[in-house]
Amino acid sequence: MNSGQVRSGLIIVDKPQGWTSHDVVGRLRKLAGTRKVGHAGTLDPMATGVLVVGINKATRLLTYIVGTSKTYEATIRLGQSTVTDDAEGEITAETIAAAVTDEEIMAAVADLTGDIQQVPSSVSAIKVNGERSYARVRAGGEVNLPARPVTVSRFEVHGIRREAGGKLRDVDVTVECSSGTYIRALARDLGSALGVGGHLTALRRTCVGPYSVEQASTLEQLAGNLAVLELDDAARALFPVRELTAAEATDLSHGRRVPPSAAVPGAEEGAGGGAPVAAFAPGGTLVALLENRGPVGAEFPAAYAKALLVFAPGNEA
């Protein structure tokens, strides 16, 4: 199969445990027969679930997908801390968590919900003086990352169990959060707040923006049938939509301005505000991503829509 046979679009992968995101991209390059493949945000090797992969022109959408909200199913173990804040790291401290009550766990979870300041995991991919934080930690160095604002819009507890003869407590949760939130760090901070330490033992990503695990295919399934969410459908799910006239579609494909997207929800702010808008030709083909420019409410041409990306009509490869 070569790139001429694979149309532009997204592949929603159910990533297996033990695979890196880079491993998945390499596999899909072979299956799709094209080098133009990328992913919309790393998923740790320990984790499973939704990894959004772009093929050909759809790689240009990935930067917008990276910043969308994410949803995870996770298990947090209370009573043990690890160097990586997850089960892949060496245990650094153990504390009997038998006395921790369900009520205390629920109160600590509530304190970690909403707009919070979070210190990323020291084994994150954040760069410190040009070096990845995880590389410095694995080399035996110390890393002190600054806290940064994240939003945990949902932190729901589904079950609390006793493990290791009651010495440890496992907490099953669902987390919906902003981009840049570390679930490992939530596990660490929950354990710290309860005074017993904590780390992540299981993690499954179930949603990335509008794309869910129900749409995802395993690598084995993709080897038999490379299921691609077409570029047009992917954009309609991700952005507010504007239907163009034929004249507007032609103007945009030739680099000309068009009137602002004043009637499209989310695009009214103008002057670079609001969400990008996916603009479609009358035949349903994605023409461009648009952003309003100029004063809000002004008449065209004082206000206009600027093309952030142009996808030529009739050329979807």
Q: Known catalytic residues?
A: 44
R_g over Cα of the chain: 23
Task: Please state, in angstroms and rounded to a whole number, the distance separating the CA atoms of residues 17 and 225.
Answer: 21
Write out the DSSP string of 251-306. HHHTT--B---TTSTT-TT-TT-S--EEEE-TTS-EEEEEEEESSTTPPTTTSEEE
Nearest to 155 by CA among 131, 183, 135, 133: 183
Q: Pairing mode, if any, of strands 48-55 and 198-208? A: parallel
Name residue 212's beta-bridge partners: 207
Sequence letter at residue 144:
N
Name residue 117's beta-bridge partners: 149
